[in-house]
Structure 1
Amino acid sequence: MTAHPMDEFPVRKFRFDFDAAEPETAVWSQSSELFSLFANAFTLHVPYFEKYLVRSMIAARGKITDEKLKRDVDAIIGQEAHHADAFIKFNDLLKRRYPKAQAMEEHAKYGFKDRLKKDDFKTLVGFTAGYETFTFLAGMLFLDNYDEWMADSDPKVKALWVWHQVEEVEHAAVAFDVYKHFFADDENFRRRMVLSAFWHIVSETFKAYLHMCKVEGWFSNPIRAARAMGFITRVVSQMIWNARPVMRSGYHPRNHPLATTEQNPIAVSWRRFHKEGGDVLEIDHAKMKAILEG
């Protein structure tokens, strides 16, 4: 039986360099250009949430009495700090392609800095847990649609996203467990934070997606515009569908079907391949075959 992905997950220190990449690399998936744009739009604000998460978990760690949870908090801090650094560097590539990307990134950066000043402790850990609900679900959604969305894509950008999505699933329960450690009796607040985080993710991503679609010519005629809007509607709808268990009493990320009975084979194989010393900094067709067959 495959080990549960949320058990004793490691911190992996990767460095991705996109300084020499041409601006055209921003449209990095030939399998689905629209997926490239959606993922890029998501990327503009997510690293600044990840910095918010790190601050949130640091604030919580000193108050936690459970030793296992402390170890998990240390691990999520390590993983998310590396994610933030990697995607901020990737955003530099996007800023060379999209005229409004700089302003959108700064809006996210200073927006989360303002939240850190204003949010009380309960909101800090609750909003973090709510946000992590959807980074986990997006992690599984992206990997489950690998063949359609990412199979034919830039090897380095693909490697960045596969790494990120695998680790989002690994630490999916930590922010939830931190919230429960302090506020186990307030399920309604947790649900409100899930909805608040979802609205923030969708609104920030939608604005950036529209801009990127416009730059890439997806609004040049009604048919292409309909395809572009249909794609983001499909992705958001799937995330909502996968989030159904999240609002139930007794929910725990560890027991979500996507993390148990429906584990993604790429995620399982990637973890094994990396643990055995395989190079996962670039993933082309041959490398993915080796990962899956290893």
Structure 2
Amino acid sequence: MNAPTRQPPQSGEIIVRAIPFAFAENIDPAWHPDRREWSHMANGASLTMPYLEPFLIKTVREALKKASNPQLKQDVHGFIAQEGNHFQNHRRYNEILKRNYPELADVESEMAADYKRFQTKSLRWRLAYTAGFETMTMGITEWLIGDRRNLFNDADPSVSSLILWHMVEETEHKNVAYDLYQHLYGQYWPRAWGLVYASWHVARSSRKGYRRMLKRDRLWNRPASRLRLWAMVIRFLMKASPAMLRSLVPGYHPGKVTDPEWVARWTSAYAGLPEDAIPLLDTSDPEIPAQFA
């Protein structure tokens, strides 16, 4: 008997996908063999997720108690569930990274201390940080999906699929933290500061991680490696900055931004999978089509 398949999502629906991504114990941390610097940039970002996303969840859960809009409350619950699945998958991958790079535990300790300190801030500050980070991810999503041929072709499918699934769900809940902040506070300048500060803070934490990995690989001080790294950072800034800047315009709302068409194709392909299937993309195809191997 064939396993049941999922129903296609409704427009605007936040789908909770408890996907148990699996990573080989001997996976190469340079999961894109031709782009070691890019691999470690993404690894550094992954390292932040088990600290960042629980902080976001705690913040919106506390803010939820003050919310009065029923639809917004429902969306917040979807946000919490999706973010919970994200950091759990990243944590499993990060544990493998730390076996290769035990010094990453120091980076984790610093992040844990940061987010513990942030918990002493006002709810408005924490929600502005949350809304700011979630806004910033829209630029990252546009970059990763739009440039997926360059970033993921011939890369490890488990890591590539984890990252792109994460971006699909960031698109699905892109309005939630922003709407919750607007619902409770609505002040422009704290939200703008939250975007700038959260973007800087997460980027700094990610850099601490990939710097240590490149040092362990004896690449950090090599000019050629540093040039490749800077090229990736510049590419990221060029691709993601426009989305971040437009979000600072008064009257901006994430719902006005058109989602990448690939996101809809991914969600449709996922809806057709058996319920117990893990959605691994075919990274051997340069197009990285929104269908699963």
Q: Same fold (TM over 0.5)?
A: yes
User: In the alignment, is residue 235 of structure 1 matched against residue 239 of structure 2?
Assistant: no
TM normalised by structure 1 equals 0.88
User: In the alignment, is residue 64 of structure 1 matched against residue 64 of structure 2?
Assistant: no
Deviation at 1:268, TM superposition (A): 1.8
Deviation at 1:293, TM superposition (A): 10
Q: Which residue number in structure 2 is paired with residue 152 of structure 1?
A: 154
Deviation at 1:220, TM superposition (A): 5.1
Q: Which residue number in structure 1 is paired with residue 102 of structure 2?
A: 99
* Code of the aligned partner of 1:130: G
CA contact (8 A) 1:6 1:169 kept: no
* Code of the aligned partner of 1:228: L
CA contact (8 A) 2:139 2:241 kept: no
Whose helix proportion is higher, 1 or 2?
A: 1
Deviation at 1:78, TM superposition (A): 0.4
Deviation at 1:177, TM superposition (A): 0.3
Deviation at 1:255, TM superposition (A): 1.1
Aligned-partner SS, 2:218: coil
CA contact (8 A) 1:266 1:292 kept: no
* Code of the aligned partner of 2:184: F
What does 1:1-294 align with in structure 2 at a 5 Å threshold?
7-18=12-23, 20-22=24-26, 24-116=27-119, 118-184=120-186, 186-219=187-220, 221-256=222-257, 260=258, 263-277=259-273, 279-285=277-283, 291-292=290-291
TM normalised by structure 2 equals 0.88
Aligned-partner SS, 1:30: coil
Assess, with a 3 A threshold, how the Cα gap between structure 1 residues 31 and 276 changes in structure 2: closer, same or farther. farther
Assess, with a 3 A threshold, how the Cα gap between structure 1 residues 51 and 289 changes in structure 2: closer, same or farther. closer
Distance in structure 1 (CA, Å) of the matches to 2:11 and 2:199: 23
Q: Taking every aligned residue pair, what percent have the same amino acid on both sides?
A: 26
Stretches of structure 1 lacking an aligned partner (at least 5 in a row) = none
Higher relative contact order (CA 8 A, sep 6+): 2
Distance in structure 2 (CA, Å) of the matches to 1:68 and 1:286: 41
Count of aligned positions: 283
Cα distance per residue 1:219-242 (max 9 Å; x no partner):
353223222222223313432232
CA contact (8 A) 1:213 1:228 kept: no
Superposed CA RMSD in Å reads 2.5
Stretches of structure 2 lacking an aligned partner (at least 5 in a row) = 1-7
Assess, with a 3 A threshold, how the Cα gap between structure 1 residues 5 and 40 changes in structure 2: closer, same or farther. farther
Deviation at 1:139, TM superposition (A): 2.0
Deviation at 1:289, TM superposition (A): 6.4
Deviation at 1:217, TM superposition (A): 3.4
* Code of the aligned partner of 1:56: T
Deviation at 1:6, TM superposition (A): 7.4
